[in-house]
């Protein structure tokens, strides 16, 4: 008889694990508390607009391909990926200059040179290093389970790490290449994707530039949720059962071994293996009794959480030609902006922000002649905001956008607005302090220092998702599923699996 696996949560890590274990022949049941699959990669539709609620940057397509290939599938049979050109547009606070990044070395070099003479060669050197770093990371580190500090700090890491300065801070690393504030910001903004700040993140994350500059930025036509549908389809095709509206109340442990889960409804589901994709804080402190917790509340009190987000989903009554698909606005005082998130938590007065306008590329996400906007301001997790504060902040942010992104009168053109922020992340996803992304990728919360994907106390209890290794990001959470698969099967190789 095949072994039973219960997966708690249908985020990307959970769906990813469901596919892998189902393909291997396990009897898999996924239990998701919400009405939709996908976790933070959620969706809602209203008044003719279709809003992707979370991720919008489809980066590192090779990592998605790897996952689908492992299951005997091809990405192109599931997703209609468009490469965006330009990849993204950058606006600067109190500055009319705009920078379009094309992910084309010739075009981008010329752009860099126009901002900082001499920087085009530096860009090329920087991107060579990012590419190298990405190759080393994907072949030797990201697909590896760590058990001891020596697994991570091996000879290769120590010698290459020193040589490449990957343990210095991202900001000082970038500053060695680029002197102008603007170019430093361009190379550092991706740290926000990792829930950290360039002043804290290790320079090894310069590999992110390989993704956006060298590989390019993609979009699945129909919206990011098409990825969730594809993952669900593949898992179900291999026999997994996906249940929504099924919140789990407890992971059942007997004699130090998991026996399955109990739902809030009272139903019990037996399992040989439980894989939790719910936020690790929630899994550990709410779904397990204290004696079985590997990471109790006091562990979490000392952790740095990634930012939350102040998000506005807007339906706009007309097209906004100043915007392209991905748009970033960088504040003038970059360090203060990060301090407002990490050091002295408050709503940033002068925020950096991101606007996704998927209707520029995809007519299916907005009615004809209208624009679908997703506006995201990274803010500290754990803040308590009243409705009045939220509305006032929304107005302030929209005022900044009108001025600095040259969109006068935007506020009068809004025909639908929904604000989504800290308390929503907490109630929708059981996210500690309402973090949008999970545990930040500081150096002490990376690799061996991140919570392990296996319970230290409960046999046959494993974890997937952004809270464990490798960490935050859609494709990265698919790797977490592969790591749990390797862990269960005792596979210790460092690179990606070639077959299941
Ligand atoms: C606003 C935003 C923008 C982002 N942008 C990008 C981007 O552009 N590109 C990118 O690659 N990544 C992006 N990310 C990050 C990426 O979306 C996440 O890292 C990833 O989706 C997290 O997946 P996960 O596997 O950790 O699961 P999660 O998404 O955290 O899902 C966990 C699931 O567990 C469920 N759950 C919790 N408790 C229970 C329970 N008791 N019982 C049952 N179910 C439970 C939750 O409801 C949820 O569905 C973004 C994230 C956010 C929030």
Rounded Cα–Cα distance for residues 186 and 264 (Å) = 46
Q: Is 282 in the pocket of ligand 1 (CB under 6 A)?
A: yes
Residue 489 CA from chain centroid, whole number:
27
Q: Which residue has the tokens 């085009």?
A: 120
Return the minimum-mean-pLDDT range out of 152-156, 252-256, 367-371, 483-487.
Answer: 152-156
Distance of CA 239 to the CA centre of its chain: 27
How high is the pLDDT of residue 387? Answer: 98
pLDDT of residue 164: 65
- Mean pLDDT of all residues in 220-244: 98
Give dist(CA 255, CA 360) in Å, integer: 56
In ligand 1, which atom is closest to the CA atom of 36? 49
| CA 448 / ligand 1 centre spacing (Å) | 22
Is the C-beta atom of 437 inside 6 A of ligand 1?
Answer: yes
DSSP alpha helix (H) spans, 178-224: 181-188, 208-209
pLDDT of residue 496: 97
pLDDT at residue 359 is higher than 90? yes
Tell me the CA–centroid distance for residue 30 and ligand 1, in Å.
15
State the distance from the centre of ligand 1 to the C-alpha of 205, rounded, in angstroms. Answer: 21
Percent of the chain with pLDDT over 90: 90
**Index of the ligand 1 atom closest to the CA of residue 246:** 43
What lies within 8 Å, CB to CB, of 76 at 6+ separation is none
pLDDT at 11 (0 to 100): 98
> Is the CB of 378 inside a 6 Å radius of any atom of ligand 1?
no
Hey, is 31 helix, strand or coil? Answer: strand
436 touches ligand 1 (CB under 6 Å): yes
State the pairing for strand pair 273-276/27-31.
unpaired
> 338: helix, coil or strand?
helix
> Is residue 353 classed as helix, strand or coil in its secondary structure?
strand
Q: Is 61 in the pocket of ligand 1 (CB under 6 A)?
A: no
Q: Is the CB of 348 under 6 A from ligand 1?
A: no
Q: In the prediction, which pLDDT does 162 show? A: 67
pLDDT digits (tens, 9 = 90+) for 184-218: 999 999 998 888 899 989 898 999 999 999 999 99
Reported confidence tier of residue 344, pLDDT bands at 50, 70, 90: very high
- State the pLDDT confidence band at 167, using cuts at 50, 70 and 90: confident
Residues 6+ positions from 384 with CB-CB distance below 8 Å: 422, 423
Looking at the DSSP bridge assignments, the partners of residue 101 are 88
Partnered with residue 220 across adjacent β-strands are 81
Answer yes or no: is the C-beta of 451 below 6 A from any ligand 1 atom: no
The reply to whether ligand 1 has any atom less than 6 angstroms from the CB of 223 is: no
Taking the domain 4-79+222-301+440-488, which CATH number applies? Answer: 3.50.50.60
**CA dihedral (315, 321, 324, 327) positive or negative:** negative
User: Domains of the chain: which residue ranges?
Assistant: 4-79+222-301+440-488, 107-216, 304-429
Does an H or E element contain 170, and which?
A: helix 170-177
Matching fold, domains 107-216 and 304-429 = no
Interval between CA 41 and ligand 1 midpoint (Å): 6
> For the residues 31-39, what does the mean pLDDT come to?
98
pLDDT at 391 over 80: yes
Q: Which atom of ligand 1 is nearest to the CA of 279?
A: 30
Between residues 147 and 9, the one the model is more confident about: 9
Q: What does residue 314 show for φ and ψ, rounded to 5 degrees?
A: -120, 135
Query: Is the pLDDT at 1 greater than 80, yes or no?
Result: no
Q: Over the stretch 305-319, which tens digit does the pLDDT of each residue have? A: 999 999 999 999 999
Within 212-296, residue ranges assigned H as helices are 225-237, 280-286
Which residue CA neighbors atom 38 of ligand 1 most closely?
278
- Which residue CA neighbors atom 45 of ligand 1 most closely? 9
Contact 162, 153 (CB under 8 A): no
How crowded is the C-beta side of 182, counted as CA atoms within 13 Å? Answer: 22
| CATH of range 107-216; options 2.40.160, 1.10.405, 3.20.20, 1.10.260 | 1.10.405
Interval between CA 39 and ligand 1 midpoint (Å)? 4
Q: Residue 425 CA: which ligand 1 atom is closest?
A: 53
CATH class of the domain at 304-429: alpha beta
Residue 31's alpha-carbon distances to 55, 415, 455, 461, 493, in angstroms, are 22, 36, 19, 15, 30
Pairing relationship of beta strands 27-31 and 241-243 according to DSSP bridges: parallel
| Mean pLDDT, the chain, whole residue set | 95
pTM score of the predicted model? 0.97
Ligand 1 near 9 CB (within 6 A): yes
């Amino acid at each position: 008889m095949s072994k039973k696996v219960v997966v708690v949560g249908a985020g990307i890590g959970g769906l990813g694990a469901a596919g892998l274990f189902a393909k291997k022949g396990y009897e898999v049941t996924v239990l998701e508390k919400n009405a939709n699959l996908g976790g933070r990669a959620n969706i809602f539709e209203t008044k003719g607009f279709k809003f992707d609620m979370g991720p919008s940057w489809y980066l590192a397509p090779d990592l998605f391909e790897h996952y689908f290939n492992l299951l005997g599938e091809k990405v192109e049979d599931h997703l209609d990926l468009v490469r965006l050109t330009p990849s993204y547009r950058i606006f600067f606070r109190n500055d009319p200059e705009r920078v379009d990044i094309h992910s084309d070395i010739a075009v981008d070099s010329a752009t860099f040179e126009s901002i900082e003479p001499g920087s085009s060669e530096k860009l090329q050197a920087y991107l060579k290093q990012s590419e190298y770093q990405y190759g080393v990371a994907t072949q030797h580190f990201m697909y590896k389970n760590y058990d001891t500090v020596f697994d991570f700090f091996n000879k290769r890491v120590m010698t290459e790490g020193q040589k490449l300065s990957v343990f210095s801070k991202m900001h000082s690393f970038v500053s060695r290449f680029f002197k102008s504030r603007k170019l430093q910001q361009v190379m550092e903004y991706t740290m926000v994707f990792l829930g950290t700040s360039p002043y804290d993140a290790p320079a090894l994350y310069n590999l992110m530039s390989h993704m956006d500059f060298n590989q390019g930025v993609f979009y699945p036509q129909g919206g990011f949720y098409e990825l969730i549908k594809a993952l669900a389809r593949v898992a179900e095709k291999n026999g997994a059962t996906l249940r929504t509206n099924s919140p789990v109340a407890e992971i059942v442990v007997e004699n130090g071994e998991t026996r399955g889960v109990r739902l809030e409804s009272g139903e019990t589901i037996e399992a040989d293996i439980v894989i939790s994709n719910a936020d690790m804080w929630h899994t550990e402190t709410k779904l397990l009794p204290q004696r079985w917790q590997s990471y109790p509340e006091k562990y979490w009190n000392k952790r740095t959480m990634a930012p939350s987000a102040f998000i506005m989903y807007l339906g706009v009554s007309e097209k906004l030609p100043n915007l392209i698909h991905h748009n970033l606005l960088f504040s003038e005082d970059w360090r203060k902006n990060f301090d407002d998130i990490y050091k002295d938590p408050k709503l940033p007065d002068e925020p950096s922000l991101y606007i996704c306008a998927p209707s520029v590329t995809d007519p299916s996400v907005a009615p004809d002649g209208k624009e679908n906007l997703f506006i995201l301001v990274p803010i500290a997790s754990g803040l308590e905001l009243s409705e009045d504060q939220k509305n006032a902040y929304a107005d302030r942010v929209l005022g900044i956008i009108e001025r600095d992104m040259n969109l006068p009168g935007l506020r009068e053109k809004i025909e639908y607005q929904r604000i989504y922020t800290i308390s929503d992340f907490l109630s929708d996803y059981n996210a500690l302090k309402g973090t949008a992304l999970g545990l930040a990728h500081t150096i002490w919360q990376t690799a061996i220092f991140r919570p392990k994907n296996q319970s230290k106390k409960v046999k046959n209890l494993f974890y997937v998702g952004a809270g464990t290794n490798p960490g935050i990001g859609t494709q990265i959470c698919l790797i977490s599923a592969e790591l749990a698969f390797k862990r269960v099967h005792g596979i210790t190789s460092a690179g990606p699996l070639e077959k299941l």
